[in-house]
A = this chain, B = another copy of it.
Amino acid sequence: GDYAKIDNHRALRNGYPEVIFCQGKSLEHINGIISKMLELGENNILATRASKEVYESVCKITDHAIYYDLARIIVIKRKEIIKTKKNILIMTGGTADIPVAEEAAVTAEVLGNSVERLYDVGVAGIHRLLARLDVICSANVIICVAGMEGALGSVVGGLVDVPVIAVPTSVGYGASFNGVAALLSMLNSCASGTSVVNIDNGFGAGYTASMINKLNGDD
Contacts and interface: CB of A to CB of B under 8 A. Distances in A.
A124 B154 contact: yes
Copies in the complex: 8
B200 A5 contact: no
A128 interface: yes
B189 A185 contact: no
A22 B130 CA distance: 26
Size class of the A contact interface (CB-based, 8 Å): 35 or more
A32 to B, nearest CB: 10
A201 B174 contact: yes
B174 A185 contact: no
Nearest to A146: B190
Interface stretch (A37-45, A60-68, A73-81, A89-97): A89-97
Interface of A: 3-5, 7, 9-10, 13-14, 16, 19, 23-25, 29, 86, 93-96, 98, 119-128, 130, 140-141, 148-151, 154-155, 157-159, 161-163, 165, 168, 170-201, 203-205, 207-208, 211-213, 215-219
Given A163-B212, A183-B187, 11 more contacts: A3-B95, A124-B189, A130-B130, A148-B189, A148-B190, A149-B150, A174-B201, A176-B184, A176-B188, A181-B181, A217-B217
